[in-house]
Structure 1
Amino acid sequence: MAELKVEAEPAEVGFDPLRLARIDEHFSRYVDDGRLAGWTVVVARRDRVVHLTHHGLADVEAARPVGDDTLWRIYSMTKPVTSVAALMLYERGLLALTDPVAQYIPAFADLRVYRGGAAANPGTEPATEPVRIWHLLTHTAGLTYGFHHAHPVDEMYRSRGFEFGVPAGMDLESACDAWAGIPLVHQPGAEWNYSVATDVLGRVVEVASGRSLDAFLTEEVLRPLDMTDTGFGAADPERLAALYVPRPGGGLHRHDRMGDAALREPTFLSGGGGLVSSAADYHRFTRMLARGGELDGVRLLGPRTVAYATRNHLPGGVDLQQFGRPIFAESTYHGVGFGLGFSVVVDPAAGKALTSAGEYAWGGLASTAFYVDPTEEITAVFLTQLMPSSTHPIRPQLRTLVTSALVD
């Protein structure tokens, strides 16, 4: 297990210690009044951990406290890991951002696009261009999620067993083939729609590398970064935090039906949401990104690749408010664009966010979050297990608390 410890006093890296302590004061109230079971927060500046706190319980029923060794379902915080894997293959010349996905997944040839009608009998038209790798990385492919409940195509996904996962026994290859047989929500590249695109990207990684997604991530990303606690399922039940949802009227309800999936070896390797990780491990991942693709002498990506991936790639430099569909997502839409696997702040004032232009981030279904602010040289990770992540404004509050503590 990677070690995690405070490495600098707040004043050494430009923080006011009393203001930084507001992080704990604020989020402790979430536990004390029953909104969260427990959490971990890690804040670093200039590559030194300045704030590390655990509060509350990883498992309320077992009275097990959150600790350094707690494991968390990171759900969509898997997406940046898979995106990094794809970018590594891009750097090696094994794929190009403009490659049609059908080059790797033949079922993605001759796609149809929804035009109108009910989910049971939709009108469609041919795709005007192929879905390409960059469409997957930017969520502009026209794919969707069944849990959106915002479009007839979402209903088609649900009717085929794709809501918060895939039908029992289905693997990544067969899931991608099934998604290719469902109409796209929009023409490739025409809009931003949060989707299973990163799962499809995981299959591209498999085909391009000649290895299963779990093998490639372990051998090329996780092991080199010493992220030994991160993987697909089979989590230690004595270390895994329990998954909760809000109880009507207040408090928490344990959601083992969904949460227990992390205890088993999965058939479906979800590059979009399948990893379990620890605070120490994900902090190492954010450090690698903040350092331009390198950590402890191991380089995964070139610094220019990281800079390229973490700029806004939406056409015309617009934000998600202008280019995205009005659905639930892990990010606000105003003043935020999207890069190759990350949300990217383009205008903090438009987003009413106390952060820097160029900050990149993402989060997960169970209210986990991370961000990297290259201007202020800050990384932050917040881990808890409450779904859905839209329940509380944890992410903007974390940014405000951290940034307002800066005095240098």
Structure 2
Amino acid sequence: MRLAQVFERVVGRDARVRFLAYDDSSAGPADADVTVTVTSPYAVSYLIHAPGAIGLARAYVSGYLDVTGDMYTALSRMQSAMGDMTWADKRTLLRGILGDPLLRAAALRRLEPPPQEVRVERLPFLAGLRHSKRRDAKAISHHYDVSNTFYEWVLGPSMAYTCACYPAEDATLEQAQFHKFDLVARKLDLKKGMRLLDVGCGWGGMVMHAAREYGVKGLGVTLSKQQAEWAQKAIAEAGLSELAEVRHLDYRDVTESGFDAVSSIGLTEHIGKDNLESYFSFLYGKLEPGGRLLNHCITRPDDTGPAMKKDGFINRYVFPDGELEGPGHLVSRMHDAGFEVRHEENLREHYAKTLTGWCRNLDDHWDEAVAEVGEGTARVWRLYMAGSRLGFDLNWIQLHQVLGVKLHEDGRSGMPLRPSFEPPFAG
């Protein structure tokens, strides 16, 4: 069996994917709009020794396997190869490659790849207690301190690296990001003169929105030095320095209190299950009575199985130490910390649309992105974003916003009888 036929068998003959290999073999429909090219026997080594999604991912990000065409389409058609391979699958694969001496070597022992042109930025060794301040700082830096210029190309002018909220099917990514920040502001009932704490603030989008649109004095904190520097410069250029501030700081080191509202947009995924109770308790203590917390984060659909595969692609290459919990668990922890939860919604489809925009942006700036961060990092991002979009589409992961309030001592919430934060989209 030739190499292209081997990969076709692994992925499935009904996948509508064209396979090409360095041994001049080919398989699959000639008119397919997605082509997978195996450029080296080292791709086989990865597939055998790290089968399923992680093996394919490592082969791709290392440059031993190329994908021509839309990455999301390729992944959606190759779902049969995304899970763990059974022993029967392995035997079938081995039978197909044992006739080639080099492929047989790849199968029977792990080949040591030669020096390669594609340099892959894998997770550095993280020492110390999981989710300690020092280890969290290193994990966050691995993902976010890539290049502000790279993020500008991928995220667009909003520099919002969290799920947008599309007010209409044909809304642009920028309109949807504005609508997301405004939805958070309305759920928090922000008004002029209030004080907002935004934890895990990224490039400062929420504090700038609150200051510019509502006259709110906002403090944002992030563990990414590059994010903080970019945000402070953007705040100054926008003339918002009297109201908005972003600090390079762990949220646990915020000393101020008495805030009227707290927003946490995309931070909870980095907190860790064992720390959720103290996390929500800390935010509860920062609020005035009647103050609200809006927690916006990626979740899994339920609480069965592990929160994150420790040896999976995401944990190895993208979000080290990340953990996802089910929405019910998050709501319970908020209640246990003292919050009364008043509203919850799932924006799963919105994140799929957001990722579609980010993937398009990366494709449009591919050459510049490779020059800026290297081909290995660019490949990681192309694969991770397309795979995440597929995960949201197939309900493997979700995005939930949970609104809680810190009650007054007499039990008053200060909430209206019905939610008033969804006005018609004005364009």
Q: TM-score, normalised by structure 2?
A: 0.27
Which one has a larger percent helix, Structure 1 or Structure 2? 2
Q: TM-score, normalised by structure 1?
A: 0.28
Structure number with greater Rg is: 2
